[in-house]
Amino acid sequence: MNKTKIFSGLSAVAIAGFVAFNYNLNAKGDNTSDVNLAKVEALASGEGSGGQASCTCTKDCGNGATASCTGYESCHCNLGGIWLQCDGVVSQC
């Protein structure tokens, strides 16, 4: 066999494997992460209250940087010293 046929055969097998892997990955589900869903829920939760936030957390991270979040239902400031959580969405320094 010459090198061209071997290379062509290996290329075809690699492409077929890649296609099968992607098909299997996409067939498993909706591909939305829990973090993205929490962000959407946090944004939507304020719509019923006229857009008025009920709480805000701000954390000084040092070097002039800050982390903050705004919640419509709940805020937990200074979780573990570096975490903030508003309406289930976590922010970190």
Q: Which pLDDT tens digit goes with each residue over 30-72?
A: 555 666 677 777 676 655 555 566 888 888 877 777 888 888 8
Instruction: Please give the model's pTM, rounded to 2 decimal places.
Output: 0.39
Q: Are 84 and 92 in contact (CB under 8 A)?
A: yes
Higher pLDDT, 8 or 1: 8
Q: What percent of the chain has pLDDT over 70?
A: 69
* pLDDT at 15 > cutoff 80: yes
Q: What is the DSSP letter of 61?
A: E
Pairing of strands 75-79, 89-92: unpaired
Q: Is residue 88 within 8 Å of 41, Cβ to Cβ?
A: yes
Domain range spanning residue 78? Answer: 3-92
In DSSP terms, which residues pair with 91 in a beta bridge? 84
Q: Domain count of the chain?
A: 1
**How big, in percent rounded to 5, are the helix, strand and coil portions of the chain?**
45, 30, 25
Q: What is the pLDDT of residue 42?
A: 67
Region 6-28: mean pLDDT is: 80
